[in-house]
């Protein structure tokens, strides 16, 4: 599998264009149009936050009503918490694009990200649409990845080229997300495309499988957004038979490549977490079930005391131990629990591991990327999530967000 984090591979049948609408940000692109040629399929996952934004509600409806041709994305304004006016504005945005391209409004999926509770300036969006459409290009990924950013410090773009029986296929994806990150689906927008032709139901299943291992296994601050969306486009331009079932030999190759792209994008979101200085992997082993393992992992990841110790590079392992203990595991035998920082065992047999030294723990905590491993000794299930530390800058970024 060929891969690159610095370059991207265009996906035949998918074009992207960006323009400056001045929705919130000045002197930068903040509007993106993604065009899918007819004949392709599209799958999507959305936030599980009950207070979901107007574009999320409308995109779900449009997916049920028609096969999408266009994705319309704006940054700077979430169009969330905007009531009936928000639904009207989201629909008007779709209508404006549909009128310019001669398609039905239901063939446009709207997406928004930014400040919650403010009306979407549809008139600015509509004025900028012709510029975004004139910029449509299969090589528009880099500009689009920058245009969808909010508090992100850098664009997130990943490509993979994979081979099967002598044929080459492409998967390229972009994402935005930096804060308000917690699964189902993190405060993120992510758009991935492949030139394969894939059955629509199978495409949806592939997307869910990949998301569970990637975007639904990250957290920055424990907050789930109102606008989260993940879209997978299969343009069908590759010269091969359609992928119709999981039993086909091509399926595992495609699934592996898709998961690789999703995991790389998810990792880039956590690395760019608001104010983050460390990327932290939490691995929980020996649980009675995956749910139990994830509960422990997230309890550790969401502990402010653990996260601030990580920022300080302080091997204060008592904070990790306390978080594991309050994860509400029935009949937890603390004598069987082991805690590790990287390859350094810090807790065993109910207390500090024999031979552990503060210097050894400090050496691990000084790294930019840290592994925290928890062995529960209760079963065979595991869970792995990515998180980051909690710094002064996280507070500053979010305190100043609307100013």
CB distance 81 to 115 below 8 Å: no
**Helix, strand, or coil here: 60?**
helix
- Strand 14-19 to strand 70-77: parallel, antiparallel, or no bridges (unpaired)? unpaired
- 142 CA to centre of own chain: 17
Query: Could you report the per-residue pLDDT of 214-246, keeping only the tens digit for each?
Result: 999 988 777 667 788 999 999 999 988 899 999
CA-wise closest residue to 112 among 51, 164, 187: 187
Question: Which pLDDT score, from 0 to 100, does residue 4 have?
Answer: 42
Q: Give the β-pairing of 338-341 and 108-115.
A: unpaired
Do residues 138 and 12 lie in contact, with contact meaning Cβ atoms separated by under 8 Å? yes
Which positions ≥6 away from 364 have C-beta within 8 Å?
315, 341, 342, 344, 370
The residue among 256, 211, 253, 263 whose CA lies nearest residue 232 is 211
Task: Name all domains of the chain by residue range, CATH numbers in brackets.
Answer: 2-266 (3.60.70.12), 279-399 (3.10.20.340)
Asked about 357 being catalytic, the answer comes back as: no
Would you say 320 and 371 are in contact if contact means Cβ atoms under 8 Å apart? no
Residue numbers of the chain with a pLDDT score lower than 70? 1-6, 179-187, 223-224, 401-403
Q: How far apart are CA 184 and CA 218, in angstroms?
A: 10
Closest CA to 282 of 375, 367, 373, 203: 373
Give the span between the Cα atoms of 36 and 361, in whole angstroms.
51
**What pLDDT is attached to residue 338?**
97
CB 23 within 8 Å of CB 49? no
How many CA atoms are closer than 13 Å to the CA of 303, on its beta-carbon side?
A: 23
Report strand pairing: 189-194 vs 229-234: parallel
pTM of the entire predicted model: 0.90
Q: Supply the pLDDT for residue 1.
A: 42
8 Å CB contact between 229 and 113: no
Phi and psi (nearest 5°) for 212? -65, -30
Of 47, 151, 172, 187, the catalytic one is 187
């Amino acid at each position: 599998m060929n891969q690159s984090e610095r370059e991207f591979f265009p996906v035949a049948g998918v074009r992207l264009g960006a323009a400056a609408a001045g929705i919130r940000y000045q002197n930068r692109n903040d509007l993106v149009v993604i065009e899918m040629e007819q004949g392709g399929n599209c799958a999507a996952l959305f936030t599980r936050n009950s207070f979901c934004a107007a574009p999320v509600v409308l995109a779900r409806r449009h997916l049920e009503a028609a096969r999408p041709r266009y994705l319309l994305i704006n940054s700077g304004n979430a169009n969330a918490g905007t009531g009936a006016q928000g639904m009207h504005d989201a629909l008007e945005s779709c209508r404006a694009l549909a009128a310019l391209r001669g398609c039905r409004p239901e063939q446009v999926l709207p997406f928004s990200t930014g400040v919650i509770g403010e009306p979407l300036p549809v008139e600015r969006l509509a004025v900028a649409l012709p510029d975004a459409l004139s910029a449509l290009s299969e090589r528009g990924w880099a500009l689009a990845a920058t245009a969808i950013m909010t508090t992100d410090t850098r664009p997130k773009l990943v490509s993979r080229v994979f081979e099967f029986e002598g044929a080459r296929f492409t998967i390229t994806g972009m994402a935005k997300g930096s804060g308000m990150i917690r699964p189902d689906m993190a405060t993120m927008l992510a758009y991935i495309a492949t030139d394969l032709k894939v059955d629509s139901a199978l495409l949806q299943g592939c997307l869910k499988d990949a998301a569970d291992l990637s975007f639904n296994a990250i957290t920055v601050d424990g907050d789930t957004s109102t606008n989260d969306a993940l879209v997978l486009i299969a343009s069908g331009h590759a010269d091969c038979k359609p992928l119709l079932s999981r039993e086909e030999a091509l399926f595992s190759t495609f699934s592996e490549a898709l998961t690789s792209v999703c995991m790389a994008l998810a990792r880039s979101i956590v690395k760019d977490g608001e104010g983050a200085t460390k990327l932290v992997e939490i691995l929980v082993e020996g649980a009675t079930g995956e749910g139990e393992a994830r509960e422990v992992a997230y309890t550790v990841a969401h502990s402010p005391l653990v996260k601030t110790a990580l920022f300080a590079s302080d091997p204060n392992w008592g904070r990790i131990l306390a978080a594991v203990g309050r994860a509400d595991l029935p009949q937890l035998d603390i004598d069987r629990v082991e805690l590790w920082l990287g390859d350094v065992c810090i807790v065993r047999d109910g207390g500090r591991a024999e031979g552990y030294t503060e210097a050894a723990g400090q050496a691990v905590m000084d790294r930019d990327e840290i592994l925290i491993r928890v062995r529960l000794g209760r079963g065979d299930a595991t869970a792995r999530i990515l998180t980051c530390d909690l710094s002064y800058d996280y507070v500053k970024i979010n305190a100043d967000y609307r100013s």
